[in-house]
A and B are shown apart, each in its own frame.
Chain A
Amino acid sequence: MEWYLPLIWAGVIGTAVAMYVIMDGFDLGIGILFPFARNETERDQMMRSIAPFWDGNETWLVLGGAGLFVAFPRAYAVIMPAFYLPVIVMLLALVFRGIAFEFRTVSHSKKGWSFAFVVGSTLAAFAQGVILGGMIEGIKVENGAYAGGPYDWASPFGLLCGLALIAGYGLLGATWLVMKTEGAIAVRARQQSKVFLIAVLVFMAAVSLWTPLAEPRIAERWFSLPNFYYLWPVPSVTALLALGCWYWIEKERDAPPFLAAIALFMLGYLGLVISNFPYLVPPSLTVWDTAAAPSSQIFMLVGTLLLLPFVLGYIVLVYWLFRGKVREGESYH
């Protein structure tokens, strides 16, 4: 029991993070695409396509944070101080983009809050990428506590990951718009999807080359035998999916490009998990080192297994209630 509980929890949190990245990914992506809309009416339509969902989407971030606190308090207590500045910048960015949904509609001039929405969404994506990059590069830990300085996260690789995540969320947002809108916005979103798709592939290649070169433990994981035989499908499937995504955009299909973009994201995520497992705080603390007391993990696991199906159920219900395309000219509210 004690041995596999942390593994189950790693799975639960991994799922929460994946859900967050997909769901808030596309709505942060809308913010990243906001500057390219022609006017505020188009922006209304774009925002309308995510407005009923964004709050639920962001709740996965809370679940990820709370889940880490529940299941791996020692990891939570190292990661948060290590990324103090990017975490707080991300939170403040989310504050501004979150209130922009409501403030934008009640203010006389929408421009100011549209700007806040753009900056908030982009900065939040960037900060998340920086945190991810910093995790991959490793965190300095002594006696179970963070032992680095306040700016350790500021490395070229971290900044690269920040830009990569902007591109990734941009792709999710653009393919979402392809699916959920029509008219000029959908046409433009198809072009944008292609640009972001190329950018995402470039970033994926850069990260895949950089990490094994910089971190011997990652090179070892991928290129030693027999791992190599099992792992080579990961990049191959990624390439196939990218081709499929492009093809479906060309064919003007609605949902497949979005689904392909999600699958691409999940493969990239899988790649990172393969590189780093079982470390939660690379390169020193594993899921077992940081786990909460087994009785706490069980208490919460029971609740999670019982409640998560309901949660997923009503999330599906709301996506279903607001299914279909947001038409041109349909106002925000």
Chain B
Amino acid sequence: MEFDPVLLARLQFAFTIIFHIIFPSFTIGLSAYIATLGVLWLRSGEERFQLLMRFWVKIFAVSFAMGVVSGIVLSYQFGTNWSRFSVATGNVLGPLLGYEVLTAFFLEATFLGVLLFGFNKVPRWLYVLSATVVAVGTMISAFWILAANSWMQTPAGHEFKDGVAYPLDWLHIVFNPSFPYRFAHMLNAAYLTTAFVVIAVGARFLIGERHIAEGRTMLRMGIGLTAILAPLQLVIGDQHGLNTLKHQPIKVAAMEAHWEGSKPADFHIFAWPDEKAGTNRYELSIPKGASLILTHKMNGLFPGLLSVAAKDRPPVATVFFAFRIMLAVGLFMIGAALLGAFFWWRGSLFETRWYLRVIAQSWWIGFVAVIAGWVVTESGRQPWIVYGVMRTADATSPVPGATIAGTLALFIVAYGIVFSFGIYYMNRLIAKGPDLGPDAAKETSEPGGISPIASTKDAGHGIV
């Protein structure tokens, strides 16, 4: 059988990294939420904050473990799948990943021990401090890895000699043109994603009429946050898109399925990009909408896909649809957050059943948007692995396609198992709720018997 090693290496990388990003999107946000609850608890001494904090720490533990193990896989895949890329860019990307390990991974991993096992061992302030350190660690980690990725999108601060990149200016490398936008957009995405999980759990408790006080706290905190962050994400995303137009115009053309640069661009609510014919079918469009968004002029022009040869175009349909999915989620989030804020202001937030039911079911939308966003970014960069400099096809390792296919199958099976159990266990912990129940007293009195994941004997009779 013939296997295309480039395609398989890409599929494998895409699969493992999409699996990985699910967990950072949640742990970056959740660690910050846990730290916030900890600070509130220290300052107010109120029990509900402590209960909520310890409830979320249990779920955090499961998610973090999956994030860590899938991340370790990725750090080795640069070498296993993209060895020629590693040689060409090691001088530039290597140090960024190295700094990530030294400034972030050790910090997160070490203080995680205190967060999970230290509740009864260390003073309160040290416990909350550890939670904060973990949260800051995840942020620093995002900083470096996004610097690395942004350099691949908009390389700067280096020179190429004989196909190898040499650093010239580290500040330009790290703060390359797309980095500030990507960092802001991704961090905000993580907070939004987590906030929607928190809101959904709060709503679930209220519908089930259990843990009312905690449910209300979560709902208020989540809606307060998203009412600000969801609209902000639209603003950041818009700026991000304008910046991309400057540096990667063909990616933007693919996002909008815009073929002819000589005409103003419509905003397609739906279309079926036909890559062979170089045009769209079944368009449903707002005339000149895309021109207005991207150039702020009705008749503004920006390059179309036809301005470059077919072999230099990204996969248009993938980028186009992924972008629409992200936009749809973004708009839904804005709507849900503002509506929630409105009900809150009217004093009917906790009684509006239909609203609670809808948001209780929406815990997953942030994850979909994050994945869709990354597909836009990464597929839109194709056929380049380092934009305008190195092609993905020139980046692979000398590994036969059959080997990659076999390991890809292994990854799919293994991650399938891990993911199903992970989701199942997290759901059970959520169903069990923050009430630590009768064995809570026992656990807190027992020296060293801390319980981030208390026994779940009585889980399962949750609400759902």
Chain A, Cβ-Cβ closest to B61? A102
Q: Is the CB of B72 within 8 A of A61?
A: yes
Is A95 interfacial (CB-CB < 8 Å)? yes
A293-B425 contact, Cβ under 8 Å, with A51-B117, A66-B98, A76-B86 = no
Chain B hits for A184, CB < 8 A: none
How far, in Å, is B366 (CB) from chain A's closest CB? Answer: 22
Q: Is the CB of A85 within 8 A of B403?
A: yes
A84-B403 contact, Cβ under 8 Å, with A65-B76, A308-B102 = yes
Chain B, Cβ-Cβ closest to A104? B453
Stretch binding the partner chain, chosen from A144-152, A170-178, A258-266: A144-152
Q: Could you tell me which residues of chain A, from 48 to 67, have a CB within 8 Å of some CB in chain B? A: 51-53, 55-56, 58-59, 61-63, 65-67
Stretch binding the partner chain, chosen from B181-189, B302-310, B320-328, B414-422: B414-422
Cα A66 to Cα B103 in complex, Å, equals 13
Q: Is the CB of B456 within 8 A of A106?
A: yes
How far, in Å, is B120 (CB) from chain A's closest CB? Answer: 10
Q: Is the CB of B83 within 8 A of A106?
A: no
Q: Is the CB of A307 within 8 A of B90?
A: no
Is A224 interfacial (CB-CB < 8 Å)? no
Is B271 interfacial (CB-CB < 8 Å)? no
Cα A77 to Cα B78 in complex, Å, equals 9
Stretch binding the partner chain, chosen from B62-70, B288-296, B374-382: B62-70
Is A227 interfacial (CB-CB < 8 Å)? no
Q: Sort chain A's interface into a size bin.
A: 35 or more
Cα A317 to Cα B61 in complex, Å, equals 21
How far, in Å, is A253 (CB) from chain B's closest CB? Answer: 24
Which residue of the partner chain, among A56, A84, A96, A303, contacts B113 with CB atoms under 8 Å?
Answer: A56
Q: Is the CB of B398 within 8 A of A85?
A: no
Q: Sort chain B's interface into a size bin.
A: 35 or more
How far, in Å, is B264 (CB) from chain A's closest CB? Answer: 46
Is A251 interfacial (CB-CB < 8 Å)? no
Q: Could you tell me which residues of chain A, from 74 to 112, have a CB within 8 Å of some CB in chain B? A: 74, 76-81, 84-85, 87-88, 91-92, 94-96, 98-99, 101-103, 105-108
Is A304 interfacial (CB-CB < 8 Å)? yes
Chain B hits for A246, CB < 8 A: none
Is A69 interfacial (CB-CB < 8 Å)? yes
Q: Could you tell me which residues of chain A, from 283 to 333, have a CB within 8 Å of some CB in chain B? A: 292-293, 295-296, 299-300, 303-304, 307-308, 311, 314-315, 317-318, 321-322, 327, 330-331, 333
Cα A189 to Cα B177 in complex, Å, equals 57
Cα A309 to Cα B428 in complex, Å, equals 41
* Count of A-B residue pairs with CB < 8 Å: 243
Cα A59 to Cα B107 in complex, Å, equals 10
Chain B, Cβ-Cβ closest to A101? B65
Q: Is the CB of A296 within 8 A of B118?
A: no
How far, in Å, is B78 (CB) from chain A's closest CB? Answer: 6
Q: Is the CB of A331 within 8 A of B449?
A: yes
Chain B hits for A165, CB < 8 A: none
Q: Is the CB of A81 within 8 A of B110?
A: no
Is A70 interfacial (CB-CB < 8 Å)? yes
A99-B65 contact, Cβ under 8 Å, with A79-B79, A293-B167, A315-B106 = yes
Is B151 interfacial (CB-CB < 8 Å)? no
Is B397 interfacial (CB-CB < 8 Å)? yes
Q: Could you tell me which residues of chain B, from 199 to 249, have a CB within 8 Å of some CB in chain A? A: none
Q: Is the CB of A77 within 8 A of B86?
A: yes
Chain A hits for B451, CB < 8 A: 333
Which residue of the partner chain, among A76, A95, A333, contacts B453 with CB atoms under 8 Å?
Answer: A333
Chain A hits for B105, CB < 8 A: 59, 62-63
A80-B397 contact, Cβ under 8 Å, with A65-B75, A311-B106 = yes
Which residue of the partner chain, among A98, A147, A308, contacts B398 with CB atoms under 8 Å?
Answer: A147
Which of B86, B112, B415 has the most chain A CB atoms inside 10 A of its CB? B86
Which residue of the partner chain, among A70, A84, A321, contacts B94 with CB atoms under 8 Å?
Answer: A70
Is A73 interfacial (CB-CB < 8 Å)? yes
Q: Is the CB of B87 within 8 A of A74?
A: yes
Q: Is the CB of A51 within 8 A of B414?
A: no
Q: Is the CB of A318 within 8 A of B425?
A: no
Q: Is the CB of B113 within 8 A of A296?
A: no
Q: Is the CB of A318 within 8 A of B403?
A: no
Cα A147 to Cα B66 in complex, Å, equals 34
Cα A315 to Cα B107 in complex, Å, equals 9
Chain A, Cβ-Cβ closest to B403? A150
Chain A hits for B166, CB < 8 A: 293, 295-296
Is A71 interfacial (CB-CB < 8 Å)? yes
Is B400 interfacial (CB-CB < 8 Å)? yes
Q: Is the CB of B79 within 8 A of A99?
A: no
Chain A hits for B93, CB < 8 A: 69
Cα A312 to Cα B443 in complex, Å, equals 31
Chain A, Cβ-Cβ closest to B112? A55
How far, in Å, is A109 (CB) from chain B's closest CB? Answer: 12
A-B contact pairs, 22 of them (CB 8 A): A52-B116, A52-B118, A56-B106, A56-B113, A62-B105, A76-B90, A77-B90, A78-B83, A94-B72, A96-B414, A98-B69, A99-B65, A102-B453, A103-B62, A103-B65, A146-B398, A293-B91, A300-B99, A311-B107, A314-B111, A318-B111, A333-B451
Q: A52-B114, A145-B398 are in contact. List 6 more A-B contacts (CB 8 A).
A: A76-B83, A91-B72, A108-B456, A296-B90, A296-B167, A299-B167
* Chain A residues within CB distance 8 Å of chain B: 51-53, 55-56, 58-59, 61-63, 65-71, 73-74, 76-81, 84-85, 87-88, 91-92, 94-96, 98-99, 101-103, 105-108, 144-147, 150, 292-293, 295-296, 299-300, 303-304, 307-308, 311, 314-315, 317-318, 321-322, 327, 330-331, 333
* Chain B residues within CB distance 8 Å of chain A: 58, 61-62, 65-66, 68-73, 75-76, 78-80, 83-84, 86-87, 90-95, 97-103, 105-107, 109-114, 116-118, 121-122, 166-167, 170, 397-400, 403, 407, 410-411, 414-415, 418, 421-422, 425, 428-429, 443, 446, 448-456
